[in-house]
Chains A and B, each alone.
Chain A
Amino acid sequence: MQSQVEVKHGDQEVKHAQFSEFVSFTVAGQAFCLKITQIREIRRWSPVTILPHAPSDVLGVMNLRGAVIPIYDLSARFGLHQTEASERNVVIVVAVGGKPVGLLAESVSEIISINPDDIQDTPPVDSRYTMEYIQGIISHDETMVRIINLDAVISVPEQVMM
């Protein structure tokens, strides 16, 4: 909708091109978002197969149309409490380094259009996880939405494996 309005004003087209769409979702009660282009699909949670000896934030593996993909618990990854996954939760499938990876979130909220100029740097807080995994924050409908740094979340060791 917003983009249609923008197109009508020819002189604003340049500005419009800078807008990007983000999908916002909640993890442990907090609002997060990811660029829509990073997301492949969103699925309802279904029980996963446990990976032996896996760290606590790796829930296990899931069958995505014949591919075996790992599922991370975003909440545990962010140092928040561990999610008791249920049917109400969703798995956001993203591609990291060309490989699909599933991220467990509480629920998906909406698609929001963000002007990069509106992104604020993460203010320094005393939480290692926050600083590492959050790339910036924005204000949307009077709430704070955290933009996830995907590469940091799917941390280096896993990427090395790919």
Chain B
Amino acid sequence: MSGSIQDTFFEECEELLEATDEGLTAIEGGNHDPEVVNAVFRAVHSIKGGAGAFGLDELVAFAHRFETVFDEVRANRLELEPKLIQLLLRSSDHLCDLVATARDGGETDEAHHNMLIAALDEYIPEEEEDLTFEPMGLGAPGGFAPAAIDIPAAPTEETYRIRFHPMKEMYGTGNEPFFLFQALKELGELEIKLDDTELPGFDAIDVAESYLAWDLVLTSTEPRDKIEAVFEFVEGLCELSIEGDGDAEADAAALEALNAAFGVAPSAEDGDAAPAPFDQPAPAPAADAGPAPAVDASADKAPAPKADTAKAEQRGGPKPTLRVELERVDRLINAVGELIINHSMLAQQIANLDVADMRDVETELEGFKNLARDIQEGVMSIRAQPVKPLFQRMARIVREASSATGKTCKLVTEGENTEVDKTVIERLSDPLTHILRNAVDHGIEKPEDRESAGKGKVGEIKLTASHRSGSVCIEIKDDGAGVNRPRVKQIAIDKGLIPENAELTDSEIDNLLFLPGFSTAKEVSNLSGRGVGMDVVKNAVTGLGGRINISSAPGKGSTFTIILPLTLAVMDGMVVSVADQTMVVPITSIVETMRGSDDMINNLGADGTLLSIRGNFVPVCDVAGALGLEKQDDQPPGVYLLVETETGQRSALAVDDIHDQRQVVIKSLDGVCGEIAGVAAATILGDGKIAMILDPESIIAASPSAAAFDTERRMNNAVAS
């Protein structure tokens, strides 16, 4: 039980951390709007509250400091200067870590933790620090003796009568009246009277219900909004009324205005409600909002559960959402996949029937197909999520990488609302992290180098997401030095990745970065060089059925472009037969198909075969051979599929025949067998049979003739030019 509550807390933490990050990013971008500051403050406070309920002391202590600094900012006692913003950003990152540690176990970096705490403490004024949660006895708040505090010269001393009646929901959020009273006590002389008249007999008591109310009399010089601020976090969770000295009249007006705001009273009364309710000690925050401030102000402060809704609407309101277990969605996706397979089976069965006029059936079948696609797209869109959280995490990566390398960079993101399949987002995190670290480590120059190159001190990395004709495009663009081509080439030669006399085009050199075993770092820094190179990035992207490209301009920067399929569940494929087996080749990798004839085939050496296409020679890759399948007869392959790999090299895949081009449902072979060279996944065809979905890249890699030819071609190029 408590486990599930804790899960909910961590789920909420995710959202709150996101909100914190979003707010801080806005602040970093120069938006110092109090509402933004407040949003962050509230988010951090909620994390602290929840963490307190679960006894996560470390998290509470840190969140409290973080919050206190923000409170100072809120009160305009601290200025949001860049240094502070950086500290806050790093604190927010650390808060993320602490939450993750609390959830998953493990250790936090203690030195870092203490350093941040010390840094935050510098911003916290002395007396505020004393306010930290002392482990005071949580005795009955009723026994709280009225404490007299010497108030030096209080010219506008005011007495407030506060009636505070918490609802049971308030206790559910981890709020505690005791702390509220403690905070009130800070404001002035406080008299507390417990009202327990609602308390039923012992036998009728419901432990979860809230029966207690308090009448408080506060004598204070502080303005009224200060007192209201104390109750800010229980807003909507309690019945609260604050009556100032002799402002009963204004209060009544406020109440009316409040009613008007909630549509209780007819709008005609708006006129009567005009006098601003909070004009007594100091103007309420919204009192200067315009001609009819009363309604707004009171709506904002309204101690009613409706306040939340009202607020949400004021902010334009988030769209209502539904939190669903991922597994349920996946089950639905599987079922829809079955539906599509079922359709093609049905279509095949009907085609096999000996019926004279099938037009009607075919029309209906077409309708079925369209509906199935609609459902499929709809279900897939449930899985689609904006890339925003991913991009926010990336901002942190850039921050950390910058401080580790002593460079200054900022991450600019665009198209954060582009929606991508959840799995894609999850699996993109590592490659993106790697690329961004690389960009900071190798791409962006040191500040002084940048200045001498006539660029701004601060490096800029732009992370963009967009939809591009049925696929998702993620672009990482830095304005650094670009790929150092002579060096990259030298390293590739040194490592024996290319022959010494190879003559490569610029883009071929850039693509060397993706070769396994290539790493440009002079020494293995703990930042980008973790013993893995960009080939890991490339594998991750191709594993998602995507492609990655790099383009670079010396002195101007590099751009990595990742193209990903919109969905991982369905793809368009060409159904072919290879050695009596039916297989599917992804349409995206096929450039051209052609029927072969003997005069197109040219032998080269003992095993090499070249296909001549309009005067160009392309190496032939025998799919059956590459897959280790034996051919039943000696018939030459009938059809060639011209495919192009990432590096731009072309190859002709020899297959027996092409049958069809259709949408197929991708079935993973994970857990069925290990990784098979040349096979990406499986699918189920219309006849219920399984067909392998081929991976042209790895087929070509597995085909010795093609690989040999590639080197040969490079050598040829070297000779030719």
Give residues in A with beta carbon < 8 Å to B.
Answer: 47-54, 58, 61-63, 65-70, 99, 157-158, 161-162
Interface residues on B, range: 20 to 34
For the complex, give the distance between the alpha carbons of A54 and B678 in Å.
Answer: 12
A69 to B669, CA, bound (A): 9
Contact of B341 among A48, A58, A66 (CB under 8 A): A66
In the complex, what distance in Å separates the CA atom of A65 from the CA atom of B692? 17
CB distance B671 to A162 under 8 Å? yes
Give the distance to chain A from B702, nearest Cβ to Cβ, in Å. 9
A70 vs B581: C-alpha distance in the bound complex, in angstroms?
A: 16
Instruction: Please give, as numbers and ranges, the residues of chain A lying within 8 Å of B669 by CB-CB distance.
Output: 61, 68
How far, in angstroms, from A47 to B581 measured CA to CA in the complex?
11
Nearest A residue (CB) for B665: A66
B672/A49 in contact, CB under 8 A: no
Q: How far is the CA of A13 from the CA of B690 in the complex (A)?
A: 48
The dominant DSSP class at the A interface is: mixed
A43 to chain B, nearest CB (A): 13
Contact partner, A52, options B582, B667, B692, Cβ 8 Å: B692
Inside 8 A of B667's CB, which chain A residues have their CB? 66-68
Within 8 Å by CB of B673, from A47, A48, A51, lies: A51
Q: What are the nearest 8 A-B pairs in CB distance?
A: A52-B627, A49-B690, A162-B671, A66-B338, A68-B667, A70-B672, A53-B628, A68-B682
Q: Which residues of A contact B692 (CB under 8 A)?
A: 49, 51-52
Give every chain B residue within 8 A of A62 (Cβ-Cβ): 690
Asked if B385 lies at the interface with its beta carbon under 8 angstroms from chain A, I say no
Contact A61 to B672, CB < 8 A, known contacts A49-B581, A49-B692, A52-B629 = yes
Q: Min CB distance, A93 to chain B, in Å?
A: 13
Query: Are the CB atoms of A63 and B676 closer together than 8 Å?
Result: no
Least Cβ–Cβ distance between A141 and chain B, in angstroms: 37
Contact B690 A66 (CB under 8 A): no
Per the bound structure, the CA–CA distance linking A70 and B668 in Å amounts to 12
Q: Does B585 contact A (CB under 8 A)?
A: no
- Residue numbers in B under 8 Å from A61 (CB-CB): 669, 672-673, 682, 690
Contacts of B671 in A (CB 8 A): 99, 161-162
Q: Which of B446-461 contact A (CB under 8 A)?
A: none
19 new A-B contacts at CB < 8 Å, known A49-B692, A53-B627, A53-B676? A48-B690, A51-B679, A52-B676, A54-B673, A54-B676, A61-B672, A63-B689, A63-B690, A65-B338, A66-B667, A66-B684, A68-B668, A68-B684, A68-B690, A69-B672, A99-B671, A161-B670, A161-B674, A162-B671
Closest to A55 in B: B673
A58 CA to B628 CA, complexed, in Å: 14
A99 to B338, CA, bound (A): 19
Report chain B residues within 8 Å CB of A70.
672-673
What's the Cα separation between A62 and B691 when bound, in Å?
10
A157:B337 contact, CB within 8 angstroms: no
In the bound assembly, the distance between CA atoms of A161 and B677 in angstroms comes to 15
Is B471's beta carbon under 8 Å from chain A? no
Given known pairs A63-B684, A66-B338, A70-B673, the reply for A52 and B690 (CB within 8 Å) is no
> What chain A residues lie within 8 Å of B542 (beta carbons)?
none
Distance in angstroms between the alpha carbons of A62 and B627 in the assembled complex: 19
Q: Which residue of B is nearest A65, CB measured?
A: B338
Tell me the nearest residue of chain A to B667, going by C-beta. A68
- Asked if B484 is an interface residue, CB under 8 A from chain A, the answer is no
Whole-angstrom distance between the alpha carbons of A49 and B580 in the complex? 10
A161 to B667, CA, bound (A): 16
Assuming the A-B contacts A53-B628, A54-B673, A162-B671, are A66 and B334 also in contact, with contact meaning beta carbons closer than 8 angstroms in the complex? yes
Inter-chain CA distance A53–B582, complex, in Å, is 16
Offer 28 A-B interface pairs, CB within 8 angstroms, sorted by A: A48-B690, A49-B581, A49-B682, A51-B673, A51-B676, A51-B679, A51-B692, A52-B628, A52-B678, A52-B679, A53-B627, A53-B676, A54-B673, A61-B682, A61-B690, A63-B688, A63-B689, A65-B338, A66-B337, A67-B667, A68-B669, A68-B672, A70-B672, A99-B672, A158-B673, A161-B671, A161-B674, A162-B671
CB nearest neighbor in B for A51: B673
